[in-house]
Structure 1
Amino acid sequence: MTFSVSWNMARKALLLLLILSASVFNLWGQFGPEDSVYFLFTDRFYDGDESNNYTVNIRNLKGYHGGDFAGLTEKLPYIAGMGFSAIWISSVVDNQAGGYHGYWAQDYYRVEEHFGDMESLKTMVDRAHELGIKVILDLAINHTGIQHDFFGDPAYQDWFHPRQDIDDYSDQYQVENHWLQNLPDLNHENPEVRQYLIDMSIWWIEQTGIDGYRLDALRHVPADFWREYSAAVKEQFPDFYLIGEVFDGNPANLGKYQNAGIDGLLDFPAYFAIQDMVRNGEPATRFAQSVINSKRNYPHEELMGTFIDNHDVRRFVNQVYRNREEKLAQSLMFLFSYTGIPIMYYGTEIPMDGGSEHSGRSLMAWDEPALYKDLVTSLNELRSLHPALSSGEFTIVDRSMSRFVYARHDADDVFLTILNNGDEERFSIELPDELRRDFRWARSMVLDSAGEPLAPGVPELESIRIRRGRLRMELPAYTGVVLKLSRERE
């Protein structure tokens, strides 16, 4: 893009200013809607230190594959080059055998030896900060691994709930007090357990200078614990970012945790909505209604985490069976222009294959061309250059049966995201009065400086004339576009 050089220079200047003016610990933890996050599994990203390859077997999808902090440190410029301002990595605490994902904690105060040691973890965090990248660690404190040092020890018997599996996920008592996936369920009613988990979480922040936690299995822990937990963390680190996981499509079941002090949550309702429309061909009117319902329930929608896939679901390209390239491009445009903080799963820029839980967590395919990298980079740059795309107002412009159009806008800019989910290619869009502002042209922002598409599935579009507040255009079936409105033809 023509603005890439100027943005890179501005980014470096801003980074230098932050470093020189850093006068408080954890300055980097100030999260907002202008951020974007690259989510990865440390074990599956890059092997930078073969000395810690204990029991590594890349043919075993459920075993360790060799990725480590040294490898991540080496590859941080790759992530920064796409414009991401943060990474979310898998848990760093010591896990029992097979716990490459970080959800089977064995010792909360030790670093997982397959990834490196405390020094290599600190080196990675420091290097990330030098590049302007904040660091979020995954943390699972609903449960431990079956081999945790405390489990089975009579001295800690009351730290765990008795073994009972969850057989009714609509029963909140079971969800909070029974075992999830055969893992020992911590008793958060016990004050000693609460204090231990709070102290441990603060200890990792003090030791490493990280900027946030992604908190696993949020709804399996009582909301009053999260209220106490977030207050304790924020008392010492006011800008520390807490984002939680509630695997639920009902926005009301997510919003209550923001009210309990969690900054943001993974926006599963938005995920299910975009999947229904793009993958299943559901009417765009249903998607629009889902968006409206979500916004009614989130006290801070700007801090929600928007995503199109992650480690808990099949990769996006494995959920789409027709027009795969077009629909992936569509969904990326949605991801980076919708409200909240976009979170992209590692390898989506390629895109990587993954039709099951563990195959969706395979080794990063470094040898394959990253077909969507330029599109992702351009969308990140757009968000950085134009605050309207990250923190501007959100207005639904059109919600027909097969087409969804929304605007992100502020006093300076207006952007339209158009998702065409049907066969009709010729249509018109009428702008609401507050968005007209004497605009006469609309230009695609997903083309390169030569007017070529930035990725497969991105349509070629010439500038579109706006007459009397109406755009008449042609957009190929099952494609999308992000348009910037202007008064002069650019």
Structure 2
Amino acid sequence: MSKQVIATLVLIPFLLFYGLFFSCVQAAGEKEERSWQDEAIYFMMVDRFNNGDSKNDKDVNTTDLQAYNGGDLKGITKQLDYIQDMGFTAILLTPVVDNEEDGYHGYWTKDFYKVEEHFGSMADMKELVKEAHKRDMKVILDFVAGYTGSKNPWLFDKQKQGWYQQEQGENEQIQIIEESPLAGLPHLNFENKEVRKFLINNAKWWVQQTDIDGFRLEDMQSVPKDFWGEFVRGVKAVKQDFFFIGDVSAVDASSVAEYQNMGIGSFLNISSYKNMTKVFSQTGQSPNELYKDWKSDQVVYPNPYLLGNFLDNQNTKRFTRVALEEKQYPPTRLRLALAYLFTSPGIPIMYYGTEIALDGGDPPDNRRLMDFKTDADFLKYISKLGELRKQLPSLRRGTFEMVYDKGGMSVFKRTYQEETTIIALNNTKKTQKVHLTREQLDTNKELHGLMEEDIIRPAKDGYYLVLDRETANVYALAEKTGLNIPFISVLVGINVLFVIFLILVRRRRKKS
């Protein structure tokens, strides 16, 4: 037998194996371009997250919630792997600009062009963004345009006359607007073109200096709508794919949606927040109001998948506190709420400390210092939700249909292209059994449980799901398990060819 034939016989098994392997890799790699609706955001108050540099701990007092507690930018950089391991793909930070004394939260701006010294330096900010981008994570900063701190130097600067609302004649001191939701803070005058120009140039500067990926726009309703149009155009001239998520305090979604004409496609979903808190902070509640929100959002917004969903933030009571007030066990309640947050349409935004069920009432009590002594099982639960959202496009882009709702037990169906997932939520005090009909799901397949491992094979009249009390599961509609004939055929072929090769080699040796 020629050497060429022997070499061919040796190569065939490897070619078959690697051909199969690379075809699988290619199929796995054929993903759609990543969009902002594919992100999951971890939101931090910089001062309360992690102290990474003791050198900037000036006047730090960890026993006083209205003083600086020591968190900084280096501290966040050191915990990027921790955040990513939970499944988050982006981080959102409270303002990092230089603030007035005791402005630990970042909302009392003193100098728009300087990093708050308690948080570090511009070099630290650049390093944070650089390290986040290395991990394919995006960075969003809170941007405050409507007001400054009450002791800002501009208030006493003659060259800045006309920069604030309601000037008192020739008096340089500006009358503070007390009727604002941000009572006590002086609001900027947007009829002044210099104010507009300054803020737009400042925003562009931050993007150019740090390469951040987005802004959360604080208190948008305190600023004229037409300014936001100028602002968005100015920033996008620097970075075209820049992301804006608006914070608008409005009664109804249609009032919020008006800001879309300014070029802002994403907003914090206030209605969803209120209903999620109500539904999941106690047992027996139906998520029907949340489903109605989704139906409404589809009418009001061109892309409702971009809405930012959250359980709590720096301005609300912690979800843990709400559950405690309902005399519930917070971790159990959080598991259900987070299951809905990560599997329903929209961008999930989780406030730091949720992973340890951090408690807190109204501000500043809801801004307690982070403790990294996490519960391993709870952390694993969040990580699994984050991983499922990454791996299953239907959880980020799919349709959303309620297929069962009774007494706190609910089931949702999500479909995207050829992929179908089922989200089951048992918000009751008893084990529940749900029947899904042949019309609702293809019975030529089977359901694979992903949060809790389980395989549900179809009965003649459909599927039967059984869930323990106060638990959730995500199911993938998959092909029926059994013998994988094509793969087994390849393996058999490889072994047969290898045996033939050994026989031929042995015969060749005998002839020699």
State TM-score, norm by structure 2.
Answer: 0.81
1:83-232 map, 5 Å = 83-162=87-166, 163=175, 165=177, 167=179, 178=180, 180-232=182-234
Cα displacement string for residues 226-247 of structure 1 (whole angstroms, at most 9, x for unaligned residues): 1221122122211001111123
Shift of 1:423: 4.2
Q: Could you say what secondary structure the match of 2:153 adopts?
A: coil
Indicate the residue corresponding to 1:458 in structure 2: none
Indicate the residue corresponding to 1:366 in structure 2: 372
Is the 1:264–1:304 Cα contact (8 Å) retained in structure 2?
A: yes
RMSD: 2.4
1:47 is matched with which residue: 35, 44, 51? 51
Q: What is the one-letter code of the residue matched to 1:195? A: K
Indicate the residue corresponding to 1:330 in structure 2: 336
Shift of 1:393: 1.9
Is the 2:409–2:432 Cα contact (8 Å) retained in structure 1?
A: no
Give the Cα–Cα distance (whole angstroms) in 2 for the partners of residues 285 and 432 of structure 1: 23
C-alpha distance 180-123 of structure 1, shift in aligned 2 (>3 A): same
Indicate the residue corresponding to 1:486 in structure 2: 478
Q: What is the one-letter code of the residue matched to 1:291? A: W
Indicate the residue corresponding to 2:455 in structure 1: 463
Indicate the residue corresponding to 2:416 in structure 1: 410
Q: What is the one-letter code of the residue matched to 1:204? A: W
Q: Could you say what secondary structure the match of 2:255 adopts?
A: helix
Shift of 1:469: 6.4
Indicate the residue corresponding to 1:445 in structure 2: 450
Q: Could you say what secondary structure the match of 1:135 adopts?
A: strand
Q: What is the one-letter code of the residue matched to 1:300? A: N
1:477 is matched with which residue: 469, 483, 489? 469
Indicate the residue corresponding to 1:436 in structure 2: 441
C-alpha distance 285-131 of structure 1, shift in aligned 2 (>3 A): closer
Shift of 1:403: 3.1
Are residues 1:298 and 2:305 paired? no
Indicate the residue corresponding to 2:66 in structure 1: 62
Q: What is the one-letter code of the residue matched to 1:217? A: D
Is the 1:38–1:84 Cα contact (8 Å) retained in structure 2?
A: yes
Shift of 1:259: 2.9
C-alpha distance 432-63 of structure 1, shift in aligned 2 (>3 A): farther
Q: What is the one-letter code of the residue matched to 2:165? A: H
Is the 1:429–1:471 Cα contact (8 Å) retained in structure 2?
A: yes
Give the Cα–Cα distance (whole angstroms) in 1 for the partners of residues 322 and 376 of structure 2: 20
Shift of 1:342: 1.0
Q: After the TM superposition, which of the residue ranges 438-447 and 37-46 deviates more from structure 2?
A: 438-447
Is the 1:323–1:478 Cα contact (8 Å) retained in structure 2?
A: no
Q: Could you say what secondary structure the match of 1:122 adopts?
A: helix
C-alpha distance 469-64 of structure 1, shift in aligned 2 (>3 A): farther
Are residues 1:74 and 2:78 paired? yes
Q: Could you say what secondary structure the match of 2:292 adopts?
A: helix
Q: Could you say what secondary structure the match of 1:159 adopts?
A: coil
Give the Cα–Cα distance (whole angstroms) in 2 for the partners of residues 436 and 469 of structure 1: 10
Q: Could you say what secondary structure the match of 2:162 adopts?
A: helix
1:399 is matched with which residue: 402, 405, 417? 405
Are residues 1:312 and 2:315 paired? yes
Shift of 1:159: 1.2
Q: Structure 1, unaligned stretches of length 5 or more?
A: 1-5, 15-27, 168-177, 452-461
State TM-score, norm by structure 1.
Answer: 0.84
Shift of 1:424: 5.4
Q: How many residues align?
A: 442
Q: Structure 2, unaligned stretches of length 5 or more?
A: 1-20, 167-174, 483-512
Is the 1:40–1:346 Cα contact (8 Å) retained in structure 2?
A: yes
Give the Cα–Cα distance (whole angstroms) in 2 for the partners of residues 331 and 228 of structure 1: 38
Give the Cα–Cα distance (whole angstroms) in 1 for the partners of residues 394 and 448 of structure 2: 16
Q: After the TM superposition, which of the residue ranges 92-101 and 146-155 deviates more from structure 2?
A: 146-155
C-alpha distance 238-270 of structure 1, shift in aligned 2 (>3 A): same
Give the Cα–Cα distance (whole angstroms) in 2 for the partners of residues 160 and 432 of structure 1: 64
1:207-286 map, 5 Å = 207-248=209-250, 250-279=252-281, 282-286=285-289
Is the 1:139–1:216 Cα contact (8 Å) retained in structure 2?
A: yes
Is the 1:314–1:354 Cα contact (8 Å) retained in structure 2?
A: yes
C-alpha distance 369-475 of structure 1, shift in aligned 2 (>3 A): closer
Q: Which structure shows the bigger proportion of residues in helix conformation?
A: 2
Is the 2:331–2:357 Cα contact (8 Å) retained in structure 1?
A: no
Indicate the residue corresponding to 1:345 in structure 2: 351
Give the Cα–Cα distance (whole angstroms) in 2 for the partners of residues 421 and 48 of structure 1: 40
Shift of 1:165: 4.1
Shift of 1:166: 5.5
C-alpha distance 64-310 of structure 1, shift in aligned 2 (>3 A): same
Give the Cα–Cα distance (whole angstroms) in 2 for the partners of residues 249 and 278 of structure 1: 22
Give the Cα–Cα distance (whole angstroms) in 1 for the partners of residues 286 and 40 of structure 2: 29
C-alpha distance 346-182 of structure 1, shift in aligned 2 (>3 A): same
Give the Cα–Cα distance (whole angstroms) in 1 for the partners of residues 460 and 77 of structure 2: 53
Shift of 1:82: 1.8
- Higher Cα Rg, which structure: 2
